Amino acid sequence: MAEAEAPERRGGGTEEIAFEEAGLRYEVDGEIATITLNRPGKRNAQTFATWSALAGIGENLPERVRVVVVKGEGPSFSAGIDLRMFTPEGVPGQGSFGSVARQDSDSLDRRIEQAQQGFLWLRRPEIVSIAAVQGHAIGAGFQLALACDLRIVADDVRFCMKEPALGLVPDLTGTKPLVELVGLAKAIDLCLTARVVEAQEAYRIGLAEQVVAPAELARAAHDKAAQLLSTNRDAAVATKRLLQGARLRTLEEQSAAERTEQAARLRALFAGS
């Protein structure tokens, strides 16, 4: 068997990203990229720098990467937005919500859109993203887990959509996957009460694919990545594209989409034979 490729500290093109300021660690090992929220002392609280670095990783993701694992160092996956954002001083070098709120509408919209870029790319058909979630996943932390295709959780997980309790809405691309995963009524319940969802409920309502002991979380994410890598790459991309579009299409449209994708697969598989 070929020797495993030594993990790279970073993927190509990401040298300019301020990982430390963002509170992130990033490694690419062959076809797997791992993003680690890495401010455990602050429960992996997120800032504008975190979201901008996440977007940078997405923009520079090496083509060979098929699986992206998102995890958090320490006892919590992420305690959500850095609460210093709510203070007049804000986060040094990044401002505060107060300063952002005073911007004109276009600038404010752009600022939020920039933050969302850190989350949107995790759904690309070319990759499967796995959130490995332990402890608290609050607000932006919950939404980061929701941005991933799959969630494997430790049995101590505590999801909480806290934004409405703070006078905000969840705006980091989390509302759509939440509704799609748990349904509208449950999503309203979770968001408008800001209550905590623990592991067994998360599994029961479809927020988590798998629940494991905290000590098994890294292994479980790795095993899932290995399973995902065992299928044909191009077929996996085409199938994810089909599945993602299924909800938006009628049965007839979806059947047509299946034919189109399969025709391309068959041509590729039997080219030259």
Binding site for ligand ACO (CB under 6 A): 42-43, 45, 75-76, 79-84, 136, 138-140, 162-163, 166, 168
Smallest distance from ligand ACO to CB 269, Å: 46
Q: Which is nearer to ligand ACO, 24 or 33 (CB)?
A: 24
Smallest distance from ligand ACO to CB 122, Å: 17
Q: Which is nearer to ligand ACO, 35 or 37 (CB)?
A: 37
Q: Which residues have CB under 8 Å from 198's CB, separation 6+?
A: 157, 158, 159
Smallest distance from ligand ACO to CB 17, Å: 21
The residue type found at 208 is A
Smallest distance from ligand ACO to CB 104, Å: 22
Q: Which DSSP state fits 165? A: G
SS3 category, 197: strand
User: What is the rounded radius of gyration, in angstroms, for the C-alpha atoms of the chain?
Assistant: 19
Query: 198 and 204 in contact (C-beta within 8 Å)?
Result: no
Length of the chain: 273
Which residue's beta carbon is nearest to the bound ligand ACO?
Answer: 139
Strand-pair category, 32-37 with 67-72: parallel
Q: Which is nearer to ligand ACO, 62 or 74 (CB)?
A: 74
Q: What DSSP string describes 30-80?
A: TTEEEEEE--GGGTT-B-HHHHHHHHHHHHH--TT--EEEEEESSS-SB--
Q: Which is nearer to ligand ACO, 73 or 163 (CB)?
A: 163
Smallest distance from ligand ACO to CB 220, Å: 22
Both tokens assigned to 121: 């790319």
Query: 136 and 77 in contact (C-beta within 8 Å)?
Result: yes
Tell me the C-alpha distance between 82 and 88, whole Å: 13
Smallest distance from ligand ACO to CB 52, Å: 16
Tell me the C-alpha distance between 25 and 45, whole Å: 14
Smallest distance from ligand ACO to CB 189, Å: 18
Q: Which is nearer to ligand ACO, 120 or 242 (CB)?
A: 120
Q: Which is nearer to ligand ACO, 132 or 140 (CB)?
A: 140
Q: Which is nearer to ligand ACO, 40 or 245 (CB)?
A: 40
Q: What DSSP string describes 215-233?
A: GGHHHHHHHHHHHHHTS-H
